[in-house]
């Protein structure tokens, strides 16, 4: 790939990164806190592309060096055949431009966030937190799925007893049809996303479809089970109300 082609690829990559970083599209790939780094990276790539083109335009053409290269190329063509060399270079040029196709896919097609398909094939990532800060007054209190699950599983619900909580996530059904309210958490990017699962008991909807987003209001339940994938603990919530809601702007959570 020549320098002009390299500059085009750099420019397209930088433009795709800037487009993702300037809209909510970047939330499909990385955690929210990385947005400034994405914007800086996109700008650097575009500057690098412009600098590459500027260097190529200012580079001297012709001269003794080029005459030597022409003589060398002439000898090379005479030995191997001009037509064969030209055809080989032409094929390499077209193959190198195929690298641009994934960039157009990134620019034109927004991939969906990871959902129930990935969640049921991956074991819960629930880990014991460092501590359990006191919850604010007022009921119901809104918690992340990760926060509720950590308190229910490792604090034995002590900070949750007597409190109504609201958590939001999507439905994932295991192979036996058991429903879990799920949220994918990520430490950096979607490549490391793992599910946190909370079992549902109590007044659950009679029909639950995978990837349906629900806002669950309920209370702590001492019931728990093991994830069939990795035997990790899955706590439950005693549901008093389940309301369908649109998917949130940021469908991922970060570890508490």
pLDDT band at 70 (very low <50, low <70, confident <90, very high): very low
pLDDT band at 82 (very low <50, low <70, confident <90, very high): very low
Q: Would you state the pLDDT for residue 76?
A: 46
Q: Are residues 145 and 82 in the same domain?
A: no
> DSSP character for 114?
P
Q: Are residues 170 and 249 in the same domain?
A: yes
What CATH number has the domain bearing residue 160?
A: 2.40.50.140
- Whole-angstrom Cα distance, residue 179 to residue 193? 20
- Whole-angstrom Cα distance, residue 217 to residue 240? 6
Q: Give the total residue count for the chain.
A: 256
CA distances from 133 to 159, 160, 168, 236 (A): 9, 11, 20, 20
Of 175 and 100, the structure prediction assigns the larger pLDDT to: 175
pLDDT band at 189 (very low <50, low <70, confident <90, very high): confident
Closest CA to 8 of 59, 49, 56: 49
The domain total for the chain is: 2
The tokens of 160 are what?
A: 């949750």
- Whole-angstrom Cα distance, residue 184 to residue 175? 19
> For 23-57, b where at least 16 C-beta lie within 10 A, e where not — what string?
eeebbbbbbeebbeebbebbeebbeebeebbeeee
Q: Are residues 83 and 125 in the same domain?
A: no
Give the residue numbers spanning the domain of 19.
3-111
pLDDT at residue 246 greater than cutoff 90: yes
* DSSP codes, 115-174: -HHHHTTS-------S--PPPPSSSSEE--HHHHHHHHHHSTTTTTTT--EEEEEEEEE-
Q: Are residues 128 and 245 in the same domain?
A: yes
- Whole-angstrom Cα distance, residue 231 to residue 136? 32
Task: Tell if the pTM clears 0.75, that is, is over it.
Answer: no
- Whole-angstrom Cα distance, residue 20 to residue 103? 12
Strand, helix or coil at 250?
coil
Domain stops at, among 111, 127, 148: 111
Q: Are residues 138 and 234 in the same domain?
A: yes
- Whole-angstrom Cα distance, residue 230 to residue 228? 6
Q: Are residues 88 and 130 in the same domain?
A: no
Q: Are residues 135 and 194 in the same domain?
A: yes
- Whole-angstrom Cα distance, residue 17 to residue 141? 37
Per residue in 102-154, pLDDT tens?
666 666 666 678 899 999 999 999 998 888 888 988 889 999 999 999 999 99
Instruction: Establish how many alpha carbons lie within 13 A of residue 206's alpha carbon, considering only the half-sphere containing its beta carbon.
Output: 0
Q: Where are the beta strands (DSSP E) in the chain?
A: 141-142, 165-173, 179-185, 194-202, 213-226, 233-244, 252-253
> DSSP character for 93?
H
Share of the chain above pLDDT 90, in %: 38
Domain stops at, among 84, 111, 138: 111
Of 35-44, 53-62, 168-177, 187-196, least confident by mean pLDDT is 53-62
> DSSP character for 249?
S
pLDDT band at 65 (very low <50, low <70, confident <90, very high): very low
Q: Is 211 exposed, middle or buried (0-12, 13-18, 19+ CB in 10 A)?
A: middle
Domain stops at, among 111, 146, 163: 111
Q: Are residues 15 and 141 in the same domain?
A: no
What residues form DSSP beta bridges with 225? 234
Q: Are residues 122 and 95 in the same domain?
A: no
Q: Would you state the pLDDT for residue 69?
A: 46
Q: Are residues 169 and 138 in the same domain?
A: yes
Q: Are residues 245 and 165 in the same domain?
A: yes
Q: Are residues 125 and 53 in the same domain?
A: no
């Amino acid at each position: 790939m020549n320098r002009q082609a390299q500059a085009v690829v750099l420019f397209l990559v930088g433009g795709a990164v800037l487009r993702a970083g300037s809209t909510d599209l970047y939330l499909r790939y990385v955690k929210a806190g990385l947005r400034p780094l994405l914007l800086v990276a996109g700008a650097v790539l575009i500057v690098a592309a412009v600098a590459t083109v500027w260097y190529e335009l200012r580079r001297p053409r012709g001269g003794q060096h080029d005459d030597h290269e022409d003589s060398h190329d002439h000898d090379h063509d005479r030995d191997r055949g001009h037509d064969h060399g030209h055809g080989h270079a032409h094929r390499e040029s077209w193959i190198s431009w195929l690298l641009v196709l994934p960039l157009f896919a990134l620019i034109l097609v927004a991939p969906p966030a990871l959902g129930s398909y990935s969640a049921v094939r991956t074991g819960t990532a629930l880990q014991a937190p460092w501590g359990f800060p006191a919850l604010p007054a007022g009921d119901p209190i809104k918690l992340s799925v990760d926060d509720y699950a950590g308190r229910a599983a490792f604090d034995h619900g002590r900070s949750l007893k007597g409190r109504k909580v609201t958590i939001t996530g999507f439905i994932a059904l295991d192979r036996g049809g058991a429903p879990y309210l799920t949220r994918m958490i990520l430490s950096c990017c979607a490549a490391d996303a793992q599910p946190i699962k909370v079992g549902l008991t109590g007044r659950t909807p009679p029909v639950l479809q995978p990837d349906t987003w629900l806002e669950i209001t309920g209370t702590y339940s001492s019931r728990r089970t093991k994830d069939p994938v990795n035997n990790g603990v899955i706590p439950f919530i005693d549901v008093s109300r389940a309301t369908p809601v649109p998917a949130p702007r940021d469908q991922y959570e970060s570890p508490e």
